[in-house]
Chains A and B, each alone.
Chain A
């Protein structure tokens, strides 16, 4: 009997302790701890809907960027060979319109940066839920909270790796391509289920069909220091600030000067015909100037007919063609169209016996780096604007832009436009 009473006291004692915890407003697990009168389901729903649209666009443009590398064409293009079913949607990346990658990747990075304030505001608006007790009301609720780790961790992981990569701060543990691609799928798995579970509620909240109530509404709100309108204004203003100080890095001319804090904003590297953005300098790529001299350098072209070796002068003797094409980087910056002049890739293919469109493997003098080799697909080789460029903007290429010869292909990611080309092998890859 006394044992039973003891047990009973234990149960009630624990219940009382639990109630005390709930009442102790010094603890973040108590609803009373959170005082801001801004918080509430409608406030959160606004950010939620913006992120639903924005992150969906980020995911789609991200998948497009992955496809733009043609990873299924050749192992040298593929940074994630274990992708399995995650590459289910891959397709031959087109060459039209020639600004396609410039647009999709510009949107991906600029929109991502613009959404940072919205993401931070959204996380701030729901932070009381992180500490909410009891930890789970049901199995489904427990699983949903675990899923939120993937959602919040995934969102912050994706935004952080992206923000660090565009600033060439490679502190993350592994290849950016691997982390950002697989990270995107982990995040998206949690994002879709979160959107599916919350979207109906968010819409009801936005329509004002429900009273402003629930766990996000502070039970003892502090005196307001800003209206909700003011808070939305601050977040929109912060997003606008991110946008106007970033978007300019997708254009040359005065617009680039407006990207005051973003990498590749501000002044161009030098002036004159070669004074536009350089993806990787010759110094960074470890190019030895002696290897690019007229005496030393020969382009080795291999195909069905065998091997042809061409000096730069011999290349200049072939039919030359021009194309106005941009450089667009995975980091989100791009140049306006530059005026390239060189030999068509399809003419080089024909030179070694490939009159029908065929793939090409391009190798650079560059000795290290993931993209010292790159493969281009037959549709890219066939495009009359795809060149082995020798000149840009009316002058021979500068060493930083790939002298003696570089690839330039419409709509291809910048890093696939191999510089300091030394060997081209035509044929099915």
Chain B
């Protein structure tokens, strides 16, 4: 005989250990959080929550959609085995652009030059060169693979 009145509170609360851990975590986060928010609290909170939202609702859907477009297009022309040869260089090049965007885009050129005494030119050029090498190398690998596949095909197939 089940007695829902006794079972129910347990189901609703969840594990007591988990609750304790979470309470301790929130207390520490709160202690640091009031200090984090002591300045321009709205902007800081916006950055904190915004970072997660921009990643989850903008960046991730964008690159997933781009990936889907590539896989879909290559699938439509029956070239699914080409997918990695596009995906890998695009992902690596995109990662470098994402991380080094301030330098590549030139938006911090003047400050970088003034602070470090170094030229800020060339980040865009180097990123483009790396991108060219990545896609070029990928294309070369694909060509080699296709040639090998052609050679290995039995003559009867012709």
Contacts and interface: CB of A to CB of B under 8 A. Distances in A.
A138 B51 contact: no
Q: How large is the interface on B (under 10, 10 to 19, 20 to 34, 35 or more residues)?
A: 35 or more
A190 B102 CA distance: 29
Contacts, number: 196
A179 B39 CA distance: 10
A117 B122 CA distance: 24
Nearest to A192: B25
B153 interface: no
9 A-B pairs with the lowest CB-CB distances in the bound complex, closest first? A140-B14, A185-B32, A173-B43, A138-B14, A156-B51, A182-B36, A169-B102, A193-B25, A189-B29
Interface of B: 11-15, 18-19, 21-22, 24-26, 28-29, 31-33, 35-36, 38-40, 43-44, 46-49, 51-52, 55-56, 60, 71, 80, 83-84, 87-88, 91-92, 95-96, 99-100, 102-104, 107-108, 111-112, 114-119, 122-123, 126-127, 130
11 contacts: A167-B100, A168-B111, A172-B47, A182-B35, A189-B25, A189-B32, A225-B71, A241-B95, A261-B103, A261-B130, A279-B115
A186 B29 contact: yes
- By DSSP majority rule, is chain B's interface helix, strand, loop, or mixed? helix
A174 B44 contact: yes
Of B13, B21, B103, B117, the most chain A CB neighbours within 10 A belong to B117
A65 interface: no
Nearest to A262: B100
Q: How large is the interface on A (under 10, 10 to 19, 20 to 34, 35 or more residues)?
A: 35 or more
Nearest to B88: A234
Contacts of A130: 56
Interface string A316-347: 00000000000000000000000000000000
- By DSSP majority rule, is chain A's interface helix, strand, loop, or mixed? helix
Nearest to A223: B80
Nearest to A152: B52
B92 A269 contact: no
A261 B100 contact: yes
Nearest to A246: B99
Contacts of A182: 32-33, 35-36
B55 to A, nearest CB: 6
A318 to B, nearest CB: 30
A196 B21 contact: yes
B116 A179 contact: no
A274 B114 CA distance: 17
Contact of B19 (A143, A149, A185, A269): A143
Given A150-B29, A169-B108, A113 B92 contact: no
